[in-house]
C-alpha cells in the first residue's frame, strides 16, 4: 500500500497513483535569469537544475509536497505544492545575497587589524528589541573586512573590539583599545540605526574609532573540573560578547582578560559536559586601572518549582489552571540563550528545569485567566517580572494566583473593506508585563481573562517584530495608533480598531 | 528524478482544549492536521532500546490549521517511543513560519501500546493498527495527544487534539 497523502484522505481513489510529477524553474529573483545547478529538493528526493534552471521529480503519489531550492550566493526558497494532477510550472525565486564591506581606522587614519565586525539582525522577543549575530569577521592587515552571504534586510553593524595580538597594521598589543561602536556612531543598542541591505547589493561601511588606554582584568576561577576546560567570557551591558582576549591557567585557575575598555561588564565562566552545565558570573566595573582579585565560582543548574492556584469567584471551577511558564535570560538583548518552557500539571504545580545561576524574566500565560499575584520568595513578580537564581542556593518556590474573573474584549477591525490579518498587542498602562497580551487578529478576535485595568490596544500589519510594545519609547511613538480601553472584572465589551498602515494583502 | 519510498504519518483532528498558555494564534477549536513524510531509507540520528529519533529535511513536516498550510522551514525531527508499558508515542517537532513569525511546533500522538514495532530503531516503519483514535491530553504535562506551539513572541501554548493518527 502506498502512502496516502493528507490532502487526499477524502479522495482515496487518487491516493495510490504514484505517477505524478513536480517540475519547475529556479530563477534569480533580482534578474529573472534561470539558475543552473541549483539544488532542488522535495522531502523524498533531490536533484540539480539544468542549464535552463529546470528541475523535475516524477513517480510521486498524489498529495502535498514542499519543493525547495538553494544555491550558494542566494537565499533558499520553497513552496507548498499539491499534486494529483502533476504540477509543471513551479517557479522558485532565489534572492541573491549581499555583501557588506569596509575599513576600520583609528582617528589618526591608521588601519586597525583584527577588529571584530558583527552584522546583527533585529527582531523582538516579548515586545523587546532582540538582536542576533548573523555574521562576524575580523579586519585584515589593511584594516579591511568583508561580510559576504548577507540576506536582504535591516542590520545593525558593530565594531565589537580588538581580538588578540597581531602584527603589521596597528594591533591590539599596543595597550590601547576602543569601546564597541555601531555603524553611524551609536554606542548602545537602543540608539543604533539599522542599515538597509538590499538583495544582491554591495554596501560600504567604514568605521573610525577612537583609541583609549586599555586595562586588564585578573582573577581566579573556583570549582572548575581539571578535565573540562571552562569557557570564560567578558560580556558587555547588553549581553554582547567582548572581543577582548582571555587567558586561563587550568593548573592554578587564574584568568586574565586583556585589552578591556573602561565600562560595565559581566565575566561569565561556563563548564559543560553533555547536558550538564555549571556557571559562575561576576559583575565588574573597569575604570582607569586594572581590575584584580576577581573571584568566579562555578555552580550547577537548579530546578525552579512552583504552583499556580485558582482564586476569585470562579475558584469552584473544576478546571485546573492551564498555564505556561517560560523563563528566559533577562536584560541581555544580545544573549542567544533561549527560554526554558514549562507548564502546569493538573494540580497547578510546575517545574522549570536546568536553570543556571543568573537573572531571568518569567512569562506566565494561562487559558481564560490572568495572574493576579506572583511571588518568588520576597520578590513580587507583578511589580517586576524578573527572578534571580543565586549560585549554590536552592531557589525559593514561585507561587502564583490565577483569577478567571477577568474581562473580555471583542476586538474587530473597523473597515468596510476585506479584513486584513494584523498583529495585536494589549499593553497595560501599569507596565505590568505579566498582563500584556499579544495575538493575531483576522478581522475579529475575542480575548478573555484579561486583568482589570487600563490598557492601550495596538494593531498593525506587516512584520510582527516591528513594534517593541514593551519599550515605553516605542509606545510613545505609536501612541497615535493606539486605542485606550478600560477592562473591568467579568465585563464583556466590544472594541473597534482602525488598523494603520493598512496595506492590501 | 524518481523519489525513494516514503511513509507519511498523519495526526488529524480538532484542536483543544487549551492546556497551557493564551493561544495567541486562536487555534483552539480549529481543525488541525500534522503530517510527517519520512524516507524508509533513513537511519535514526539517535536511538535507545525504546525510542528512535529521525531528522527530516525542510518541508517534511506540514502543519495545517483551519485550512492554512505551514511547512517546516528547516530540518525537523520525528521521534518514536515504544515503552514496555504505557502508550507508544509519535512526536513531530519542527519550526514553521506563521504569518511572519518563526515558531516551534511539536505534535504528540499517543498510540496504543505495541503499535510501534521495535524495528523502528533501524528505519522508519509503519505503526499498526492504522488509523487509530487519538484522545486529547487533559493537562499539558500528562498523557494523551497534544500540539504545542511557541516562540519568544508568542509564548508557549499547548492544546489537546482529538482525532486520528494514521500512516
C-alpha cell at position B66 = 483551519
pLDDT by residue for chain A (505 residues), tens digit each? Answer: 343 343 333 333 344 457 899 999 999 999 999 999 999 998 888 999 999 999 999 999 888 788 999 999 999 998 888 898 999 999 999 999 999 999 999 999 999 999 999 999 988 888 888 888 999 999 999 999 999 999 999 999 999 988 754 444 455 556 889 989 999 999 988 788 999 999 999 999 999 999 999 999 999 999 888 777 899 999 988 888 888 889 999 999 999 999 899 999 999 999 988 778 899 989 999 999 999 999 999 999 999 999 999 986 565 667 889 999 999 988 666 766 778 999 999 999 999 999 998 889 999 999 989 999 999 999 999 999 899 998 888 999 999 999 999 999 999 998 888 888 899 999 999 999 999 999 999 889 999 999 999 999 999 998 898 899 999 989 999 999 899 999 999 999 999 998 876 554 4
**pLDDT at position A505, please?**
41
Which of A44, A323, A338 lies closest to B37 in CB terms? A44
On the question of pLDDT at B43 being above 60, the answer is yes
CA A346 remoteness from chain centre: 31
pLDDT at A167: 42
Is A323–B59 a contact, with Cβ atoms under 8 angstroms apart? Answer: no
Which pLDDT belongs to residue A3?
39
Contact present, A308 and A400 (Cβ < 8 Å): yes
CA A63 to chain centroid: 34
Q: Are B2 and B154 spatial neighbours (Cβ–Cβ below 8 Å)?
A: no
Query: E strands within B6-50?
Result: 6-20, 31-39, 46-48
Interface touch A3/B20, C-beta < 8 Å: no
Please count the other Cβ atoms lying within 10 Å of the Cβ belonging to residue B71: 25
CA–CA dist A143, A140 (Å, integer): 5
B60 interaction partners in chain A (CB closer than 8 Å): 43, 66
Chain A residues in contact with B23 by the CB 8 A cut-off are 367
Residue A259 vs residues A173, A284, A448: alpha-carbon distances, Å: 8, 15, 54
List the single residue in A with minimal CA-CA distance to B101: A464
Question: Coil, strand, or helix at residue A376?
Answer: strand
Q: Checking DSSP bridges between strand B132-134 and strand B155-166, what pairing results, if any?
A: antiparallel
Between CA A150 and CA A138 the distance in angstroms is 16
E strand residue ranges, A249-405: 254-260, 263-273, 276-286, 291-297, 299-300, 302-311, 323-329, 340-343, 349-355, 358-366, 370-376, 379-380, 386-389, 398-403
> What is the 8-class DSSP label of residue A240?
P
Q: Do B22 and A365 touch (CB under 8 A)?
A: yes
Q: How many angstroms separate the CA atoms of A365 and B131, rounded? A: 34
Length of chain B: 167
Q: Is B165 helix (H, G, I), strand (E, B) or coil?
A: strand
Number of A–B residue contacts, CB under 8 Å: 179
Are A45 and B21 within 8 A, CB to CB? Answer: no
B43 lies within 8 A of chain A by CB: no
Residues of B in contact with A47 (CB under 8 A): 1
Residue showing cell 500540539: B147
From chain A residues 89-118, the ones with a CB under 8 A of any chain B CB are none
For an interface test with B, the pick among A66, A437, A505 (most B C-beta atoms closer than 10 Å) comes out as A66
The rounded distance, in Å, linking the Cα atoms of A114 and A169 is: 9
Residue A11 pLDDT: 35
pLDDT digits (tens, 9 = 90+) for B87-114: 999 999 999 987 788 899 999 999 999 9
Q: Which 91-150 residues of chain B touch chain A by CB within 8 A?
A: 99-101, 138-142, 150
Closest C-alpha to A359, from A298, A272, A281: A281
Which residues of B are less than 8 Å from A370 in CB distance? none
Average pLDDT for chain B: 92
Show residues of chain B in contact with A435, CB under 8 Å: none
The CA distance from B155 to A463, in Å, is 17
Amino acid at each position: 500500500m502506498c502512502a496516502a497523502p493528507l490532502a487526499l484522505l477524502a479522495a482515496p481513489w487518487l491516493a495510490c497513483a504514484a505517477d505524478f510529477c513536480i517540475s519547475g524553474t529556479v530563477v534569480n529573483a533580482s534578474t529573472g535569469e534561470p539558475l543552473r545547478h541549483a539544488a532542488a529538493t522535495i522531502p523524498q528526493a533531490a536533484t540539480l537544475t539544468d542549464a535552463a534552471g529546470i528541475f523535475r521529480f516524477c513517480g510521486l503519489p498524489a498529495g502535498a509536497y514542499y519543493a525547495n531550492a538553494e544555491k550558494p550566493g542566494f537565499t533558499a526558497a520553497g513552496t507548498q505544492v499539491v499534486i494529483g494532477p502533476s504540477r509543471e510550472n513551479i517557479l522558485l525565486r532565489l534572492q541573491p545575497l549581499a555583501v557588506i564591506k569596509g575599513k576600520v581606522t583609528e582617528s589618526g587614519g591608521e588601519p586597525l587589524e583584527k577588529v571584530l565586525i558583527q552584522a546583527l539582525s533585529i527582531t523582538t522577543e516579548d515586545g523587546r528589541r532582540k538582536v542576533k549575530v548573523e555574521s562576524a569577521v575580523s579586519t585584515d592587515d589593511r584594516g579591511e573586512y568583508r561580510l559576504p552571504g548577507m540576506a536582504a534586510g535591516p542590520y545593525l553593524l558593530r565594531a565589537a573590539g580588538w581580538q588578540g595580538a597581531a602584527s603589521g597594521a596597528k594591533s591590539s598589543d599596543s595597550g590601547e583599545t576602543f569601546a564597541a561602536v555601531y555603524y553611524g556612531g551609536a554606542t548602545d543598542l537602543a540608539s543604533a540605526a539599522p542599515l538597509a541591505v538590499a538583495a544582491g547589493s554591495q554596501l560600504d561601511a567604514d568605521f573610525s574609532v577612537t583609541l583609549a588606554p586599555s586595562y586588564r582584568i585578573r582573577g581566579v576561577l573556583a570549582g572548575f573540573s581539571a578535565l573540562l576546560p571552562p569557557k570564560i567570557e567578558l560580556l558587555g551591558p547588553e549581553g554582547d560578547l567582548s572581543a577582548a582576549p582571555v587567558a586561563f591557567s587550568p593548573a592554578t585557575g587564574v584568568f586574565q582578560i586583556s585589552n578591556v575598555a573602561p565600562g560595565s561588564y559581566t565575566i561569565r565562566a561556563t563548564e559543560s559536559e553533555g547536558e550538564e552545565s555549571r556557571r559562575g558570573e561576576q559583575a565588574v566595573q573597569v575604570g582607569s586601572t586594572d581590575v584584580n582579585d576577581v573571584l568566579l565560582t562555578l555552580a550547577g543548574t537548579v530546578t525552579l518549582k512552583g504552583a499556580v492556584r485558582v482564586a476569585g469567584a470562579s475558584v469552584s471551577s473544576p478546571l485546573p489552571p492551564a498555564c505556561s511558564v517560560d523563563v528566559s535570560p533577562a536584560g541581555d538583548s544580545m544573549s542567544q540563550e533561549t527560554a526554558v518552557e514549562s507548564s502546569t500539571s493538573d494540580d497547578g504545580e510546575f517545574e522549570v528545569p536546568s536553570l543556571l545561576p543568573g537573572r531571568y524574566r518569567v512569562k506566565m500565560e494561562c487559558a481564560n485567566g490572568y495572574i493576579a499575584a506572583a511571588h518568588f520568595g520576597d520578590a513580587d513578580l507583578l511589580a517586576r517580572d524578573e527572578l534571580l537564581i543565586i549560585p549554590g542556593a536552592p531557589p525559593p518556590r514561585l507561587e502564583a494566583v490565577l483569577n478567571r474573573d477577568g474581562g473580555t474584549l471583542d476586538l474587530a477591525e473597523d473597515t468596510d473593506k476585506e479584513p486584513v490579518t494584523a498583529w495585536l498587542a494589549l499593553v497595560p498602562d501599569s507596565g505590568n508585563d505579566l498582563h500584556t497580551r499579544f495575538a493575531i487578529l483576522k478581522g475579529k478576535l475575542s480575548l478573555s481573562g484579561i486583568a482589570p485595568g487600563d490598557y492601550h490596544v495596538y494593531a498593525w500589519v506587516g512584520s510582527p517584530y516591528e513594534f517593541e510594545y514593551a519599550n515605553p519609547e516605542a509606545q510613545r511613538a505609536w501612541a497615535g495608533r493606539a486605542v485606550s480601553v478600560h477592562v473591568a472584572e467579568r465585563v464583556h465589551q466590544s472594541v473597534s480598531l482602525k488598523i494603520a498602515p493598512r496595506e492590501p494583502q | 528524478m524518481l523519489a525513494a519510498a516514503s511513509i507519511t504519518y498523519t495526526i488529524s483532528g480538532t484542536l483543544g482544549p487549551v492546556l497551557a498558555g493564551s493561544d495567541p494564534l486562536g487555534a483552539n477549536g480549529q481543525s488541525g492536521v500534522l503530517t510527517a513524510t519520512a524516507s524508509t531509507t533513513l537511519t535514526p540520528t539517535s536511538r535507545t532500546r525504546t525510542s528512535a529519533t529521525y531528522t527530516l529535511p525542510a518541508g517534511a513536516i506540514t502543519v495545517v490549521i483551519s485550512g492554512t498550510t505551514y511547512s517546516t522551514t528547516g530540518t525537523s525531527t520525528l521521534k518514536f517511543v515504544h515503552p514496555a508499558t504505557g502508550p507508544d508515542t509519535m512526536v513531530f517537532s519542527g519550526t514553521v513560519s506563521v504569518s511572519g513569525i518563526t515558531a516551534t511546533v511539536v505534535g504528540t500522538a499517543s498510540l496504543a501500546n505495541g503499535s510501534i514495532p521495535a524495528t523502528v530503531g533501524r528505519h522508519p516503519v509503519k505503526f499498526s493498527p492504522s488509523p487509530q483514535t487519538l484522545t486529547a491530553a487533559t493537562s499539558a504535562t500528562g498523557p494523551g495527544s497534544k500540539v504545542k506551539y511557541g516562540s519568544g513572541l508568542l509564548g508557549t501554548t499547548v492544546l489537546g487534539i482529538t482525532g486520528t493518527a494514521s500512516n
